Amino acid sequence: MKLEARGVTKYFGSDSHKLQALGGIDLEVEAGDFVCLVGPSGCGKSTFLRIVAGLDSPDDGQILFDGRRVTETGPERIMVFQEGALFPWLTVQDNVEFGLKMAGLPREQRSKIAKRYLDMMQLSKFAGYYTYQLSTGMKQRVAIARALVMDPDVLLMDEPFAALDEQTRNLLLVEMQLVWEKTKKTILFVTHNIEEAAVLGTKIAVFGSRPSVIRKEIVNDLPRPRAGGDDSLGALKGVITAALRDPGEPG
């Protein structure tokens, strides 16, 4: 598995009032990488992730997946949305099985696969619940399980922990590392939170804004497991903060 972005450019707005959202993004992701895209809100990092998912198309440049150009969405690149995008008319179990059902897998096989990831995300007790009965943190666990059952080559996560309280987020940061180690997934993780990026990433790509480009790529080989608030993260967070600070932009 190899994922490459080459000069990915995207404009928003009408022809007369164009706004460049992405100013030529180049990025290489190798199998097993946990790449965190960090940048200020509205810098286009989520747009970039959507383009990788095939839910949006670039105006220029391309995404190459194992050398083939990405033109549409597909289950080898599964997205975890910020709000989870869980289906409220389905139980946790059925939400997690959704993609497998679309793929035409028989019931026993679906529930066997789902069980593995429900267990991994500690959701087994909640299999029969509907989403309105779940906390925000639980919903994100379900969203992650729903993505993992698809066994995607790349997991695309769009600020999945942004709406969580501090404690729940810290817990999920630890679990996310365990999931990554257990499943050996390649992960592209968008966040505006510097600490989240420092805790999770093997590689951190710092986005600048207007138009956004990758300002700096930082390799992060601090020992795991890491946790939010670790003193050892201090220096790395300093480097990310410095890279985020744009000399040309006031405030």
Partner 1 sequence: MKYLPHRVAFYAGIIAVWQLVSMAGVWPSNVFPSPYEVAEDLAYGATDGGLFYGIATSMWRLLVGLGIAIGGGVILGVLMARVESINQTVGSLVLGLQSIPSIAWVPLAILWYGLSDAGIIFVVAIGAIFAVTINTYTGVKNIDPHFIEAARNMGAKGTQLVFGVLLPAAFPYMITGFKQGWAFAWRGVIGAELLFAFLGLGHLLYAARSLTDVSYVIAIMLVIMGIGLAVDGVVFRRAEDKVMSRWGLR
- The contact set with partner 1 (CB under 8 A) reads 53-55, 73-75, 77-79, 81, 83, 85, 87-90, 98-99, 101-103, 130-132, 146, 150
CA–CA distance, 66 with 63 (Å, rounded to integer) = 10
Cβ closest to partner 1, residue 99 vs residue 201: 99
Cβ closest to partner 1, residue 106 vs residue 132: 132
The helix/strand/coil state of 49 is helix
Q: Using CB atoms within 10 A of its CB, is residue 107 exposed (0-12), middle (13-18) or buried (19+)?
A: exposed
Min. distance of Cβ 147 from partner 1 in angstroms? 8
Cβ closest to partner 1, residue 85 vs residue 178: 85
Min. distance of Cβ 70 from partner 1 in angstroms? 12
Q: Which of 53, 57, 55, 64 has the alpha carbon at shortest distance from 26?
A: 64
Min. distance of Cβ 209 from partner 1 in angstroms? 23
State the CB neighbour count (10 A cutoff) for residue 14. Answer: 8
- Cβ neighbours of residue 234 closer than 8 Å, sequence gap 6 or more: none
Q: Which residues pair with 205 in a beta bridge?
A: 37, 217
Cβ closest to partner 1, residue 49 vs residue 198: 49
Min. distance of Cβ 117 from partner 1 in angstroms? 14
Min. distance of Cβ 137 from partner 1 in angstroms? 16
Cβ closest to partner 1, residue 104 vs residue 234: 104
Q: Using CB atoms within 10 A of its CB, is residue 62 exposed (0-12), middle (13-18) or buried (19+)?
A: middle
Cβ closest to partner 1, residue 56 vs residue 230: 56
Min. distance of Cβ 249 from partner 1 in angstroms? 31
Q: Which residues pair with 214 in a beta bridge?
A: 207
State the CB neighbour count (10 A cutoff) for residue 152. Answer: 21
84 contacts 162 by C-beta, under 8 angstroms: no
